[in-house]
Amino acid sequence: MRAVKILALTVACSVMAIGVSLFRASDASLVRLNSISPALAEPGHSDGEADIPSSPDPARPESAKSTPLPDFVPQPHALTRSDASGAAGEDPEGPPPTDSSSGPTDTAPADTTTGSVPPDDTASTPAADATTTGSVRTGIDISSKTRKVSITVEPIPGLTSPKTPVWPTFIGAKNLFGQAKKPAPMEARAIGSYSRGCLAGAVPLPIDGPAWQEMRLSRNRNWGHPQLIALVEKFAKDAQKLDGWPGLLVGDIAQPRGGPMITGHASHQIGLDADIWLTPMPNYRLSAKQRETKEATSMLDDTSLAVNTKVFTSKQVALIKRAASYPEVERIFVHPAIKKALCQAAGTDRTWLGKVRPWYGHYYHFHMRIKCPEGMTVCTPQPPPTGDDGCGKEVDQWLAKVIPAKGPPAPKPPGPPRAPRPPLMLAELPKECQAVLAAGPDAVKIPREALLTTAQVKKALAKAAAVNTALAKASTVAGSKASASDLAKSPALRPHLHKSATADPK
């Protein structure tokens, strides 16, 4: 019996020992579970997920402090990350950053606009660029500091303006003769016509004389045929001695080798034309600067249809009459209002008035032209004056032509682009003019492009006109309405259209 009690006691002790060990193991597992649960409840403290932003818990403000949002620092025309934000500033949805040191970066194509995101909120709104017509594709290249934006604008039918027409350029005769600084060392000849020719063996009018001063010296246009230069000097002395005119201010005559001018005149090409100011010469020598800047006095009143009697006096009438009295002079061009005043002041001697012709401009100077030198067959003459004084219906018709327009000019009617007027080409001048350009040590080089014929120039312009007309038709005029089918074809609107492009029946 005693043995049975001892056995039962031993079994009971063993069971208790096993229970105690099981209880201690269960308590250790609970401790480990309690240590893991805070980490699951607070992901902001995880070292492996520091770049994932989380919303702050209002009940636990300390959790908001532990996971700050990326710190962006606004700078001009860009959004730039601060150095303190580090990896937290990366855009998780953007492409990986590019390494600029590994090679050259891609540049935007010619038809794209590149820029950076503005620092304000308007960059994300559709109305931020109200002037752009078309859809915008943005490609964002994220570097370590700046977000670069590439914008491609696609035109929308009905809102695209036609492109500016592009026309071919030509080397005109004026570009060649404008390069000549010295005359051609040849026999003096006026070659061709007054508005289509050149000059060989030109001589200069001295810039200062006893009764004249040359103006606008920088133009180098004080050259002429020897007969014209001699007449200008004689005219200046006669007007001073016989008419009491203080002296001539002489304007443009011709270039060293004549020919077309880049600016100012259609004629004056063969050294037989000269401009004489209607402003009297001062009683002192003008400096080089004054000869460039001094303004000539207009002879017209405020209406531009009559002379101002305070400045256009009997002195100017006598000066023009003196110029017309020389037998070498064939034409004198003046403004129609000056011609009208001359008709009224001429008196009984009206024979000289037939040489005075009304023409546009010429309100501060008159244009004196002499006839072709006798026996010079290469000079093309003009028909001589008819003998009529031109003071009747003709001068009134000219005054009607020069009435100043009221208001701005009328807009040009719509239509296909019109080709510009081509320059006068060297091939349109007499053949001798090429020899004039090539003569002497100061010859002007003539490129092949300058030898194009009139037919070749017209053909090139016609081809360009066809291209420009096609481009104009392809581009709808700004402001016109496009049909729904046209809009449906536009790449700019395709992503935003429904499957059906028909109008709402309502």
DSSP tally for the chain: helices H, then strands E: 11, 16
Q: What percentage of the chain reaches a pLDDT higher than 90?
A: 54
Is 70 exceeded by the pLDDT of residue 77?
no
Beta bridge partners of 192: 197, 379
Residue 474 has φ and ψ, to the nearest 5°, of -70, -25
Neighbours of 252 (CB within 10 A): 21
User: What is d(CA 476, CA 489) in angstroms, rounded to the nearest whole number?
Assistant: 14
Is 90 exceeded by the pLDDT of residue 294?
yes
Both tokens of residue 161? 């303006």
Tell me what pLDDT residue 386 has: 84
Tell me what pLDDT residue 264 has: 87
In sequence order, what E strands does 111-266 have?
112-116, 136-142, 147-153, 189-193, 196-200, 203-204, 208-209, 212-214, 223-224, 248-250
- Secondary structure in 3-state letters for 340-405: HHHHHHCCCCCHHHHHEEECCCCCCEEEEEECCCCCCCCECCCCCCCCCCCCCHHHHHHHHHCCCC
Beta bridge partners of 146: 80
Tell me what pLDDT residue 296 has: 95
3-state secondary structure of 467: helix
Query: What are 403-412's pLDDT values in tens digits?
Result: 988 888 888 7
Q: Which helix (H) or strand (E) holds 334?
A: strand 329-334
Is 90 exceeded by the pLDDT of residue 455?
yes
pLDDT band at 161 (very low <50, low <70, confident <90, very high): low
DSSP state of 335: -
Q: Which amino acid is at 437?
A: L
Query: What are 368-423's pLDDT values in tens digits?
Result: 999 999 999 999 999 988 888 999 899 999 999 999 888 888 887 777 788 899 99
Tell me what pLDDT residue 497 has: 47
Query: What are 309-365's pLDDT values in tens digits?
Result: 999 999 999 999 999 999 999 999 999 999 999 999 998 999 999 999 999 999 999
User: What is d(CA 107, CA 377) in angstroms, rounded to the nearest whole number?
Assistant: 65
Mean pLDDT of the 268-294 span: 97
- 356-358 and 329-334 beta bridge pairing: parallel
Is 90 exceeded by the pLDDT of residue 23?
no
| Entry pTM | 0.63
Q: Can you list the domains of the chain with their CATH numbers?
A: 39-69 (no CATH), 72-153 (no CATH), 173-401 (3.30.1380.10), 426-494 (no CATH)
The separation between CA 399 and the C-alpha centre of its own chain, rounded to angstroms, equals 36
- The per-residue b/e assignment along 125-153, b for 16 or more CB within 10 angstroms, e otherwise, is eeeeeeeebbbeeeeebbeeebbbbbebb
pLDDT band at 52 (very low <50, low <70, confident <90, very high): very low
